Amino acid sequence: MQIAYPKSFLKLLLIGFALAMLPLLFAFGNAALYLDRLATQSRDTVTQAVQATRASRALVEQITFMERSARQYFVLEDALLLENYEKAHEKFVDAWQDLDQLPMTNRQKHALIQLSNEELSLFQSVVHPANPAPLIEETVDRFADLTAKAQDILDENNRQIDRESAILAETAERTQQIMLWQTLTLIPVALLVALMITFLVAQPIRRMDAAIRKLGEGDYTEPISIDGPGDLRNLGERLDWLRAQLNELDQQKQRFLRNVSHELKTPLTAIREGSELLGDEVGGTLTPQQREIAGILRESSLRLQKMIENLLNYTAVQFHAPQLKLEPIALTKLAEDILADYSLTISNKNIGIQRDFFPTEIVGDHEKIHSVLDNLVSNAIKYTSPSSNIRISITHQADHAIIEVHDGGPGVMSADKAKLFDPFYRGDSVYESLVSGSGLGLSIAKEYVDAHGGEIILLPSEHGAHFRVSLPLKAVTA
């Protein structure tokens, strides 16, 4: 299933940010809604509680004032006292109306209506007394009954306020739990969305990183296709174009190496034959100086032949995995033969060869093992200082043969160690390192050792370069 990406990487980031924020924004909005409802309910509850308490207390206070005014009026029969009673009655009616407008239970409504009717009846009997006039004791008892009923209404209102407060507290707790569970649910959702967006963003970047890494490693065979936003797809197309160009350059390099190597072999053969004829004194007896010059020609032609063979071998390795022709190989004899080829150079530089040979035989490709050992020995001879020593060790451990070559040269600089076995790498340290020359010898040696299932490494050394080759006693062909 192919993912439909937006046209630009920036748009993908914006969409991802928006999607990741959406659950959190929903949580914030929902929390704000719940809090607003809770605040409104709290405000209404407090307002109603204050109004109910104020009105209920006003009822009780006005009944008490009316009772006092009525008693004084019955005793003194002063019109001003009766007027005070009527004003208290009006305030009582106002308080009753305020209380009647508040939400109440049916029981509270019934008690409030009954209180109003009894107060009105008492007011009529005081203001418009019938014949005979009501007794003071009877009026006082009726006022006491009104006070008790008003106090009951006040108490009931207080109990109602307590119930509303409890409901409000329960609502607040329930809202808190809802918000908590909502947060616990939406945070994983937001994280999941963020992970999905991260995957969508990282996937094309990982593919691009892998493609660039392959280009850096010289693998130009696999086409580069980046599935992502439009600008990243365009970048992927540019990388594929670069891959095609690098592949063409690499093929041109391989063709050039093959052609140059083959072209150089023809004149080199003539030089080798001529130097050998001179050395054999076919053209006449040579003076000591002429013999020395003939030896120099022979050594130089051998070195040039080795460089050309390295180029040919490297070209072959690049196109085909090394094919092994297995046969028994006596490593000690092979080492002695290679040292004999360099006997003149060893003698001229007065190099001492320390042999730690243990008779060891392996089954492998004679030509390739010869190339490996020849590269190590030639490098050791080349970079060993005059009148120094080279140590060559051949042993076997368990099911592996161990070959070690430790020269007396300046060694390998730290900057060269990481790319020691890279093709064409020759280093740029202050000392002439072991990767000078064509830069192919160690690279080809590693290819051949790997083909045998072995390992070649550079061991730590206080002086000189110390190489170790581990080869199985019997290689297995692919």
Q: Are residue 315 and residue 336 in the same domain, yes or no?
A: no
Quote the distance between the C-alpha of residue 337 and its chain's center. Answer: 56
- Domain with 14 in it: what CATH number? 1.20.120.1730
| pTM reported for the whole predicted model | 0.46
Is the pLDDT at 210 greater than 80, yes or no? yes
Q: For 386, which DSSP code? A: T
- Domain with 398 in it: what CATH number? 3.30.565.10
Q: For 216, which DSSP code? A: H
Residue 144, domain member (yes or no): yes
| Alpha helices in 328-464, H assignment, sequence order | 331-341, 343-348, 366-383, 414-417, 441-451
Residue 242, domain member (yes or no): yes
Q: Across 9-139, where does the E strand assignment appear?
A: none
Q: What is the mean pLDDT of the segment spanning 60-76? A: 83
Q: What are phi and psi of 196, to 5 degrees?
A: -65, -45
- Domain with 306 in it: what CATH number? 1.10.287.130
| β-pairing verdict for 466-472 and 455-459 | antiparallel
- 8 A C-beta contact, residue 90 and residue 128: no
Kindly state the helix (H) or strand (E) to which residue 352 belongs, with its residue range.
Answer: strand 352-357
Exposed / middle / buried, residue 272 (Cβ in 10 Å: 0-12, 13-18, 19+)? middle
Q: Are residue 122 and residue 260 in the same domain, yes or no?
A: no
Q: Give me the residue label for tokens 């140590």.
A: 391
The model's pLDDT over 220-276, given as tens digits with 9 standing for 90+, comes to: 778 887 776 777 777 788 888 888 888 888 777 777 766 766 666 667 677 767 777
Task: Give 406's pLDDT tier (boundaries 50, 70, 90).
Answer: very high
Residue 214, domain member (yes or no): no
Q: Are residue 259 and residue 351 in the same domain, yes or no?
A: no
Q: Are residue 62 and residue 183 in the same domain, yes or no?
A: yes
Is the pLDDT at 469 greater than 90, yes or no? yes
For the chain, how many structural domains are there in total?
3
24-38, 73-87, 168-182, 298-312: segment of lowest average pLDDT: 298-312
The model's pLDDT over 417-456, given as tens digits with 9 standing for 90+, comes to: 777 777 666 655 434 444 345 567 788 888 888 888 899 9
The model's pLDDT over 128-166, given as tens digits with 9 standing for 90+, comes to: 776 555 566 777 778 888 888 888 877 877 887 888 888
**Domain range spanning residue 14?**
9-201
Tell me the two tokens of residue 353: 């060869």
Q: Are residue 18 and residue 157 in the same domain, yes or no?
A: yes
Residue 212, domain member (yes or no): no
Query: Alpha-carbon Rg of the chain, whole angstroms?
Result: 54
Residue 4, domain member (yes or no): no
Q: Are residue 368 and residue 437 in the same domain, yes or no?
A: yes
Domain boundary among 201, 236, 253: 201
Task: Give 470's pLDDT tier (boundaries 50, 70, 90).
Answer: very high
Q: Are residue 338 and residue 439 in the same domain, yes or no?
A: yes
Sequence letter at residue 68: R
Q: Are residue 47 and residue 196 in the same domain, yes or no?
A: yes
CA distance 185 to 179: 10
When the pLDDT of each residue in the chain is averaged and rounded to a whole number, the result is 78
Tell me the two tokens of residue 381: 């001879």
Query: How much is the pLDDT for 429?
Result: 45
Query: How much is the pLDDT for 316?
Result: 60
Is the pLDDT at 335 greater than 80, yes or no? yes
Domain boundary among 138, 166, 201: 201
Q: Are residue 275 and residue 329 in the same domain, yes or no?
A: no
Residue 179, domain member (yes or no): yes
Q: What are phi and psi of 467, to 5 degrees?
A: -100, 145
Q: Are residue 376 and residue 433 in the same domain, yes or no?
A: yes
CA distance 410 to 383: 7
Domain boundary among 320, 342, 371: 320
Query: How much is the pLDDT for 404?
Result: 93
Query: How much is the pLDDT for 152?
Result: 82
Q: Are residue 145 and residue 233 in the same domain, yes or no?
A: no
Residue 385, domain member (yes or no): yes
Q: Are residue 229 and residue 331 in the same domain, yes or no?
A: no
Q: For 102, which DSSP code? A: S
Higher pLDDT, 21 or 67: 67
CA distance 338 to 394: 14
Kindly state the helix (H) or strand (E) to which residue 218 belongs, with its residue range.
Answer: none
Residue 193, domain member (yes or no): yes
